[in-house]
Structure 1
């Protein structure tokens, strides 16, 4: 009886605990992503996101992504940036291309904290497709193929969510395998 009481108490405690405490630390790019740290504090430790971090710095978005948010970030890996035509990243990182870089990066951000379950519920409610408004003012569409969640950009490019629900103190990151491109 005592064990039953302890189990019930533990379940109730988990159910009413703040979301941050129930969220697990995930590994991304060989580093722990702590739900108590913000997006930038975690991203700088991922070996898979060094290009993204460099781009965020070049665009002057560090302070924004350290802010309260909440933000949903679709974070392309280094391999995703490597899929772009040769020289694209180097060109985008130049100071004279800051506006274009900022538009591309903010196209990967949606206001609010949308978990994979939230995105899937939106897809289901939208009969297989959910339209997302990005911080840049563009649109992304979330869809499911089998059990995989993917995004389609305004140019028709597809990006798969490879690691979902990397919760942060100011939002959530979903790791994606392709850079999404606005019109």
Structure 2
């Protein structure tokens, strides 16, 4: 039985909106053109709802890596996703002495290669309802259909995040915006 997920769109996505109830929508820079001129970091910088992620990428010295050739698939937590972490967690991770731990958390959100929504949906279907993704950090994420037409990622600790905006193509990969922060072992 073929499953078509609503976010697995093949058409061009010039501008996606990532919004939070009670707040104005924040644009997410996107392009369906494989030769997009914007890299993953520049797209995140241009997106107000990803400012915490941008600060974390800078603090972990990962800007150069994520501006590199790639390709990368980035599962990008929103500011609200970071806000769900325990009080003081983000501030603690942004401290210079936590740079290694922060880099581990951030690279746990990155997969080598460009995995768009259609490819991920196919992997889930072919593998009987879930797909295992190996992250740049070395851990794994489990992707599964949520039963409502979307995708949920489950981390090594059993936490989960839902893909809220998919297929934001950049010149060096693809970004999928998620509503939670995933944690490695």
TM-score, reference length from structure 2: 0.85
2:180 is matched with 178
Indicate the residue corresponding to 2:54 in structure 1: 53
Q: Tell me the secondary structure at the aligned position of residue 132 of structure 1.
A: strand
Partner residue in 2 for 1:124 = 125
Task: Give me the CA root mean square deviation.
Answer: 1.2
Q: Scaled by the length of structure 1, what TM-score is found? A: 0.85
Deviation at 1:27, TM superposition (A): 2.9
**Which stretches in structure 2 are left out of the alignment for 5+ residues?**
1-10, 19-25
Secondary structure of residue in 1 paired with 2:58: helix
Q: Say how many residue pairs are matched.
A: 162
Structure 1 unaligned regions, length at least 5: 1-21
Instruction: Tell me the CA shift for residue 124 of structure 1.
Output: 0.7
Compare relative contact order (CA 8 Å, sep 6+) and give the higher one, 1 or 2. Answer: 2
Change (3 A) 1:111 1:27: same
In our comparison, the structure showing a higher alpha carbon Rg is 1
* Cα pair 1:23 1:167 within 8 Å, conserved: no
The runs of at least 4 aligned residues of structure 1 exceeding 6 Å deviation read none
- The residue that corresponds to 1:105 in the other structure is 106
User: Cα distance, 1:55 vs. partner?
Assistant: 0.0
